[in-house]
C-alpha cells in the first residue's frame, strides 16, 4: 500500500451543547464576565497554570472590569533565593534529572507577605476585586467567579524555547530551555496539578490560552460535560512533532508536515501528560491538556484495576521515532524499577518496545550486548568517547539486528538499545519517558550545536549484561504467536516481555473484529490499511474513523467495541496495548 496517509493532525471531539457556553477572543470573553458583575459576581479569581501569559490575562480583565484592586499571587511568594535553597536537593545539579517530591504551593508563599496581601483585599461588597496567579485559593478561597487559565505542556515547551516564559516564582532568564523544562517537570507542574485536581469540579469557566492571540473560554459545566463525553467513546489526542539530531523524513510525507523543518524525529501521539484534547462547541474549539481527563475521570478512562495501580497517571505511551534518511538514535538504556524508585522517586520505569511501521532494506535495531564481551573494556571505551571525543565502536559490543516492517522488538528496562537509521518506529512503552540514560550519541551535537547530556554512570549501573545475543534472540525479537482466529481476522500476541506490564496484540482483519477491553483502557494504532472504522455493537457511540498511523484511545468505560476496514476490499491491521491485569 502507499505510505501516504490522511493523518489528522488536529483531531476534535464534537460536543452537543445547549445555549451559549463558549466564547472566543478577549472582547467576547470579558464582555460575558462583565455581564456577571451586576448580578453580584464581584470577587473574581483566575487560577493560572504555570506558563500562561499572566500579564496579558490580567490586563484584559482589568481593562474590562476596572477592579478596585488586582492582587498578584506572585507578590506573596518567597524570594527566589529562598525557593532555590528549599528545592535544590530535589532538583539536583544534573542537567536532566531531578527527584519527584511533595512540594505544594503553600510551601512557596511567604507568611508575612501573604498576611499583608490578604489585609489589602477590599471587603466592600460593591467593589470588584481580581486575584490572579498560581495559588489563588491562598488569598481568595471562595470567589464569586473562578476561572482556570490552562494550556498544554507542549505549548509551555515552545514558550520556554522561545524565551517567553520562566519558571514559577523564579525568573531564570539565564537558564536553558532544557533546565526550565526540568524544573517544570519535577516541580512547577506537580504543584500546579495538585491544585488543578482540587479545582476541576469547582471552576466556573475554563480559559484556553493555548493560542495567546485567540483566547477561548467555556463554562465549567460544559467543560466537565465534554470530559465525561470523552470517556464514552474512542478518541485521539492532538499529536505534536519535533525535529532532532537523528530525525528523518517519513513523517513529513506520510503525516503531511511542514516542509521547512530540517527533519522530524519524534511525534508524541499518545502521551496525555504532554498532549492535548480539542473539544468543538459550535464554532468554538477549546484545547485543553489531555491530563485533565485523567484527573477528572480516572476510573472511567483507565478502569478500576489500572487506576488502583497507577492512580491518576496514564501508563501507556505511543510515539513515533523517525530515522528514515536520518541517523541512529542515541545508544541508551532505561533504569530498572528499583533504581528509578531509589534515585528519582518514580514508581515505575520505562519498559518499552519498537514496532516497525516501516523500514528500508538496511534498517536495523541495536539490542542487547554481544555474548562474551569484556564489559569493563566496553565501559572504558565509552568513557574515552565521552571524555576524549574518540569514536565508540558500538558494533563491537552491541547486537545489530535487521529490522523489517511489522517486526516487534521488546525492550525491558535494563536492555541496551537504539533504533538504527532508515527505520520508522512506533514506540510502545510505559510513560516515565524522560528517564533515558544515553551512553553514546555517535559523536554528533544536538540541534543547538552542543553535545547532548550523556549519563554513563547511571547507564552502566543499569545494563543487564546477561541480555546477550542468545538471550535477546530467544526473548525479545518478534515473539509473535497466533492466539485467536475468526471469519476474516487473526489475533496475534506480539509482546511485551513477561517482565513488562504492557500486553500487545495485533489484529489482521478484512471483516469486523470484536475487541473487549475487560475493564482496562486500550491504546491502538492502525499499522496497516488506509482507514478503519470503530463502532459500538450496541450503538452506544457514533462511528469513529481512524487513518493509517493514527493512534487512538478506547476508554475502559466503552467496554466492547468493533473495528472494521473502511473499505471492504482492504486488509488492515491494528496493534493494541493494554495493562496486564493481576500483575
* Secondary structure (DSSP) of 2-68: -S-----SS--EE----SS-EEESHHHHHHHHHHHGGGT--EEEEEE-BTB-HHHHHHHHHHHH--S
Strand, coil or helix: 230: helix
Point out which residues pair with 287 in neighbouring strands.
Answer: 278
Kindly report the pTM of this predicted structure: 0.96
Residue with cell 547486537: 399
Give me 401's grid cell.
539486528
d(CA 273, CA 190): 11
Dist. CA 104–CA 358, nearest whole Å:
45
CATH code 3.30.950.10 for 13-230: no
C-alpha span between 521 and 558 (Å, rounded): 9
| CB-CB contact of 237 with 272 (8 Å) | yes
pLDDT in 10s for each residue of the chain, 583 residues: 346 679 999 999 999 877 799 999 999 999 999 999 888 889 999 999 999 999 999 999 999 999 999 999 999 999 999 999 999 999 999 999 999 999 999 999 999 999 999 888 877 778 999 999 999 999 999 999 999 999 999 999 999 999 999 999 998 988 999 999 999 999 999 999 999 999 999 999 999 999 999 999 999 999 999 999 999 999 999 999 999 999 999 999 999 999 889 999 999 999 999 999 999 999 999 999 999 999 999 999 999 999 999 999 999 999 999 999 999 999 999 999 999 999 999 999 999 999 999 999 999 999 999 999 999 999 999 999 999 999 999 999 999 999 999 999 999 999 999 999 999 999 999 987 689 999 999 999 999 999 999 999 999 999 999 999 999 999 999 889 999 999 999 999 998 778 789 999 999 999 999 999 999 999 999 999 999 999 999 999 999 999 999 999 999 999 999 999 998 878 999 999 999 986 4
**pLDDT for residue 19:** 78
Task: State the DSSP string of 480-541.
Answer: -EEEEEETTEEEEEEE--TTSSEEEEEEEESS-EEEE-TTS-EEEEEEESSEEEEE-TT--S
Contact 340, 462 (CB under 8 A): no
CA separation, residue 13 to residues 218, 332, 343, 547 (Å): 15, 37, 40, 16
Q: Whose grid coordinates read 471469519?
A: 487
Report the alpha-carbon angle 415-416-420, nearest 5. Answer: 125
- Burial class of residue 434 (count of CB atoms within 10 Å of its CB; 0-12, 13-18, 19+): middle
Structure confidence at residue 390 (pLDDT): 94
* Residue 574: closest CA among 563, 558, 566: 563
31-40: Cβ within 8 A, 24+ apart: 31/64, 32/217, 33/61, 33/64, 33/65, 33/145, 33/147, 33/205, 34/64, 34/65, 36/144, 36/145, 37/65, 37/128, 40/144
Per-residue model confidence (pLDDT) at position 4: 65
Nearest to 419 by CA among 339, 332, 478: 332
- Domain ranges in the chain? 13-230, 481-579
Is-contact 205 36, C-beta < 8 A? no
- 268 touches 244 (CB < 8 A): no
Q: H/E element holding 563?
A: strand 560-565
The 3-class secondary structure across 308-373, one letter per residue, is: HHHCCCCCEEEEEEECCCCCCCCEEECCCHHHHHHHHCCCCCCCEEEEEEEECCCCEEEEEECCCC
Which of 557, 531, 24 lies closest to 280, judged by CA? 24
- The CATH superfamily label for domain 481-579 reads Jelly Rolls (2.60.120.10)
CA angle 298, 302, 307 (to 5 degrees): 65
Distances from the Cα of 166 to the Cα of 139, 365, 366, angstroms: 23, 39, 38
| H/E element, 262 | none
185 exposed, middle or buried (CB, 10 Å; 0-12, 13-18, 19+)?
Answer: middle
Of 404, 248, 407, 405, the residue nearest 324 (C-alpha) = 248
Gap between the Cα atoms of 49 and 196, Å rounded: 8
Question: In the numeric block, which cell numbers belong to residue 126?
Answer: 460593591
- pLDDT at position 1, please? 39
Residue with the three cell numbers 532532532 = 244
* Full DSSP string of 90-108: HH-S-SS--------GGGG
Q: Which residue has the cell 484584559?
A: 60
Amino acid at each position: 500500500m502507499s505510505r501516504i496517509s490522511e493523518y489528522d493532525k488536529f483531531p476534535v471531539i464534537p460536543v452537543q451543547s445547549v445555549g451559549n457556553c463558549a466564547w472566543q477572543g478577549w472582547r467576547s470573553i470579558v464582555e460575558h464576565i462583565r455581564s456577571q458583575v451586576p448580578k453580584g459576581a464581584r470577587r473574581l479569581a483566575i487560577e493560572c497554570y504555570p506558563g500562561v501569559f499572566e500579564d496579558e490575562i490580567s490586563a484584559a480583565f482589568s481593562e474590562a472590569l476596572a477592579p478596585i484592586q488586582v492582587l498578584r499571587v506572585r507578590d506573596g511568594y518567597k524570594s527566589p533565593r529562598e525557593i532555590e535553597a528549599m528545592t535544590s536537593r530535589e532538583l539536583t545539579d544534573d542537567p536532566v534529572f531531578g527527584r519527584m517530591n511533595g512540594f505544594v504551593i503553600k510551601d512557596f508563599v511567604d507568611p508575612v507577605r501573604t498576611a499583608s496581601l490578604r489585609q489589602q483585599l477590599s471587603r466592600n461588597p460593591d467593589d470588584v476585586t481580581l486575584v490572579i496567579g498560581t495559588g489563588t485559593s491562598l488569598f481568595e478561597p471562595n470567589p464569586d467567579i473562578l476561572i482556570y487559565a490552562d494550556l498544554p505542556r507542549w505549548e509551555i515547551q515552545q514558550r520556554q524555547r522561545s524565551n517567553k516564559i520562566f519558571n514559577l516564582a523564579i525568573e531564570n532568564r539565564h537558564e536553558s530551555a532544557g533546565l526550565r523544562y526540568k524544573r517544570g517537570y519535577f516541580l512547577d507542574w506537580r504543584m500546579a496539578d495538585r491544585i488543578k485536581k482540587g479545582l476541576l469540579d469547582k471552576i466556573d469557566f475554563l480559559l484556553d490560552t493555548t493560542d495567546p492571540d485567540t483566547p477561548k473560554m467555556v463554562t465549567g459545566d460544559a467543560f466537565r460535560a465534554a470530559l465525561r463525553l470523552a470517556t464514552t467513546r474512542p478518541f485521539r489526542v492532538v499529536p505534536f512533532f519535533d525535529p532532532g539530531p537523528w530525525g528523518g523524513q517519513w513523517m513529513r510525507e506520510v503525516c503531511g508536515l511542514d516542509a521547512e523543518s530540517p527533519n522530524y524525529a519524534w511525534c508524541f501521539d499518545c502521551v496525555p501528560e504532554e498532549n492535548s484534547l480539542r473539544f468543538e462547541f459550535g464554532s468554538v474549539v477549546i484545547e485543553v491538556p489531555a491530563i485533565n481527563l485523567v484527573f477528572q475521570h480516572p476510573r472511567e478512562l483507565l478502569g478500576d484495576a489500572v487506576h488502583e495501580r497507577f492512580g491518576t497517571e496514564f501508563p501507556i505511551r505511543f510515539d513515533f521515532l523517525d530515522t528514515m534518511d536520518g541517523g541512529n538514535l542515541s545508544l541508551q538504556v532505561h533504569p530498572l524499577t528499583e533504581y528509578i524508585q531509589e534515585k528519582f522517586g518514580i514508581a515505575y520505569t520505562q519498559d518499552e518496545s519498537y514496532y516497525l511501521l516501516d523500514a528500508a532494506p538496511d534498517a536495523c535495531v541495536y539490542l542487547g550486548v554481544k555474548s562474551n564481551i569484556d564489559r569493563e573494556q566496553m565501559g572504558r571505551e565509552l568513557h574515552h568517547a565521552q571524555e576524549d571525543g574518540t569514536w565508540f565502536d558500538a558494533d563491537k559490543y552491541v547486537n545489530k539486528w535487521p529490522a523489517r516492517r511489522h517486526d516487534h522488538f521488546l525492550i525491558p528496562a535494563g536492555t541496551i538499545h537504539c533504533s538504527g537509521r532508515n527505520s520508522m518506529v512506533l514506540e510502545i512503552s510505559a510513560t516515565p519517558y524522560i528517564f533515558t540514560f544515553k551512553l553514546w550519541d555517535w559523536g554528533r551535537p544536538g540541534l543547538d550545536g552542543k553535545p547532548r547530556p550523556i549519563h554513563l554512570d547511571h547507564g552502566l549501573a543499569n545494563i543487564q549484561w546477561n541480555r546477550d545475543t542468545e538471550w535477546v534472540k530467544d526473548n525479545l525479537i518478534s515473539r509473535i504467536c497466533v492466539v485467536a482466529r475468526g471469519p476474516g481476522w487473526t489475533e496475534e500476541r506480539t509482546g511485551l516481555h513477561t517482565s513488562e506490564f504492557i500486553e500487545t496484540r495485533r489484529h489482521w482483519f478484512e471483516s469486523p473484529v470484536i475487541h473487549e477491553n475487560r475493564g482496562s483502557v486500550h491504546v491502538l494504532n492502525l499499522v496497516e490499511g488506509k482507514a478503519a472504522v470503530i463502532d459500538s455493537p450496541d450503538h452506544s457511540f457514533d462511528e469513529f474513523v481512524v487513518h493509517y498511523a493514527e493512534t487512538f484511545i478506547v476508554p475502559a468505560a466503552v467496554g466492547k467495541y468493533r473495528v472494521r476496514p473502511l473499505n471492504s476490499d482492504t486488509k488492515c491491521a491494528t496493534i493494541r496495548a493494554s495493562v496486564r491485569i493481576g500483575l
